């Protein structure tokens, strides 16, 4: 082979490596922790996860992966040797795809492209926090022999809320993050434990410490953004587990002695009530607006509100929450309430998406 041919071959191989079609030979081997997915394993190994790097990992370990690319405990997987300094995907950072559409990988392949429809929420900052995560799935319901983890329902709905807000030009931060679980149009959402906090902050296994971590992440962002933001708000999404409730409903909780929290909660409550009146007038809506002494409401600098999507122990709510169309409807209703509170415009009198009983 001539010198020129050797040079050309090397350049070709370097090009393939650069675009991720060939994996660099030098690779470490790491065994996953229980419940850990590919994204979490890459991040723990010092590699910032992206869609291309996940595909590279799958190609490198094709003979070791289980069904649906599940990792097996006790098996060592090779980690692609990539530069650790690359930026991780963030819900507040996008890659422009056109003049009106941007890409947000956190939403998953099917929903990553977000078309901007207006700038009504420009300058308004939202910190979306789905409840629990990591080693804590929250309350777990059971329907038809399948588990319904609170954190997965909350995370899927929170992603949908974030996406709706981005459509109107808001700046949105997903505080709890699970990049391998984008928006999922499935009834049953499998649990995992690889969630982390914005800024690649690993979730503590200690409950109290996790609560503090969330507040610390939000408060740092609040201080950073206060000079440019018109408003900053925290929306925490949970699923209730209190016994004794008969009617499916959405409760909005806010910290006591917080007038701004009360106003935000009332806006959300009004939006949801209006949608129920429009789409299910016979059932009615009895969601409450109550005062609660909760850590995320009392220890975050922006005004904060906690939304309960329903009761995970109530069979009717279980059926409702497992339907992806209902999670989308609730996300749109919540976003409409936030728009109304921010700019006095819910977007429309009634929204196109309706929740099923």
Q: Which span out of 76-90, 104-118, 207-221 was modeled with the highest average pLDDT? A: 207-221
Which tokens sit at 34? 């229980």
How far is 217 from 232, CA to CA, in rounded Å?
14
Same domain, 115 and 45: no
pLDDT number for residue 83: 40
Same domain, 156 and 52: no
Same domain, 18 and 110: no
Query: Measured between alpha carbons, how far apart are the two ends of the chain, in Å?
Result: 71
Residue 85 belongs to some domain of the structure: no
Domain count, the chain: 2
**257 pLDDT exceeds 80?**
no
User: What is the chain's mean pLDDT, rounded?
Assistant: 81
Helix (H) / strand (E) element for 320: namely helix 315-322
- Contact (CB, 8 A) for 241 and 276: no
Residue 101 belongs to some domain of the structure: yes
The residue with greater pLDDT, 24 or 250, is 250
Same domain, 238 and 206: yes
Residue 348 belongs to some domain of the structure: no
How far is 354 from 333, CA to CA, in rounded Å?
9
For 127-185, what is each residue's pLDDT tens digit?
A: 999 999 999 999 999 999 999 999 999 999 999 999 999 999 999 999 999 978 999 99
Which tokens sit at 17? 């490596």
**Confidence band for 244, pLDDT divided at 50, 70 and 90:** low
pLDDT number for residue 237: 95
> Where is average pLDDT lowest: 63-77, 177-191, 320-334?
63-77
Mean pLDDT of all residues in 41-45: 79
* DSSP 8-state class, residue 75: -
pLDDT number for residue 251: 58
**Confidence band for 250, pLDDT divided at 50, 70 and 90:** low
**249 pLDDT exceeds 70?**
no
Which tokens sit at 174? 């997903």
Task: Pick the closest to residue 113 from 128, 93, 126, 97 (CA basis).
Answer: 97
What are residue 151's phi and psi, to 5 degrees?
Answer: -65, -30
How far is 88 from 196, CA to CA, in rounded Å?
12
Identify the three-state secondary structure at position 112.
Answer: coil
Residue where one domain finishes, among candidates 27, 50, 79: 79
Residue where one domain finishes, among candidates 25, 49, 79: 79
Beta-carbon contacts of residue 298 (< 8 Å; ≥ 6 apart): 255
Helix (H) / strand (E) element for 240: namely strand 231-240
**Confidence band for 29, pLDDT divided at 50, 70 and 90:** confident
Residue 87 belongs to some domain of the structure: no
Residue 350 belongs to some domain of the structure: no
Same domain, 115 and 67: no
Which tokens sit at 19? 């675009």
Same domain, 154 and 238: yes
Residue 349 belongs to some domain of the structure: no
pLDDT number for residue 95: 41
Exposed/middle/buried for residue 169 (C-beta within 10 Å: 0-12, 13-18, 19+): middle
Cβ-based neighbour number of residue 162 at 10 Å: 27
Give residue 152's domain range.
Answer: 95-343
**20 pLDDT exceeds 90?**
no
Residue where one domain finishes, among candidates 79, 105, 124: 79
Same domain, 74 and 203: no
CATH of the domain at 227: 3.40.630.40
Same domain, 74 and 169: no
User: Model-level pTM?
Assistant: 0.72
Residue 351 belongs to some domain of the structure: no
Same domain, 28 and 130: no
Same domain, 181 and 57: no
Residue 86 belongs to some domain of the structure: no
Identify the three-state secondary structure at position 305.
Answer: strand
Same domain, 99 and 40: no
For 79-91, what is each residue's pLDDT tens digit?
A: 886 543 333 334 5
Same domain, 138 and 113: yes
How far is 180 from 88, CA to CA, in rounded Å?
13
């Amino acid at each position: 082979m001539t010198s020129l041919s050797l040079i050309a071959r090397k350049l070709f191989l370097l090009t393939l490596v650069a675009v991720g079609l060939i994996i660099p030979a030098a690779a470490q081997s790491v065994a996953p922790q229980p419940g850990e997915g590919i994204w979490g394993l890459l991040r723990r190994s010092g590699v910032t996860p992206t869609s291309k790097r996940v595909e590279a990992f799958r190609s490198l370990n094709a003979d070791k992966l289980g069904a649906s690319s599940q990792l097996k405990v006790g098996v060592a997987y090779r980690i692609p040797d990539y530069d650790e300094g690359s930026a991780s995907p963030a819900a507040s950072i996008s890659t422009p795809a056109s003049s009106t559409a941007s890409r947000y990988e956190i939403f998953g392949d099917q929903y990553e492209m977000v078309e901007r429809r207006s700038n009504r929420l420009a300058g308004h900052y939202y910190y979306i926090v789905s409840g629990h995560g990591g080693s804590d799935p929250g309350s777990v319901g059971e329907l038809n022999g399948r588990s319904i983890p609170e954190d997965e329902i909350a995370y899927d709905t929170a992603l949908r809320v974030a996406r709706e807000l981005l459509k109107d030009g808001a700046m949105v931060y997903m505080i709890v993050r699970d990049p391998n679980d984008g928006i999922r149009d499935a009834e049953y959402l499998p649990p995992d434990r690889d969630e982390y906090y914005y800024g690649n902050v690993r979730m503590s296994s200690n409950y109290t410490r996790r609560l503090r971590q969330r507040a610390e992440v939000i408060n740092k962002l609040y201080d950073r953004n206060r000079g440019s933001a018109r408003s900053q708000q925290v929306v925490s999404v949970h699923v209730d587990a209190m016994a004794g409730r008969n009617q499916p409903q959405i409760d909005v909780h806010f910290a006591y002695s917080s007038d701004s929290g009360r106003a935000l909660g009332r806006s959300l409550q009004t939006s949801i009530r209006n949608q129920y009146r429009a789409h299910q007038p016979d059932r009615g809506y009895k969601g409450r607006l109550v005062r609660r002494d909760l850590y995320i409401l009392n220890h975050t600098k922006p005004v904060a509100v906690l939304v309960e999507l329903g009761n995970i122990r109530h069979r009717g709510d279980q059926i409702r929450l497992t339907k992806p169309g209902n999670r989308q409807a609730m996300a749109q209703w919540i976003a409409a309430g936030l728009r109304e509170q921010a700019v006095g415009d819910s977007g429309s009198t009634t929204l196109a998406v309706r929740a099923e009983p």
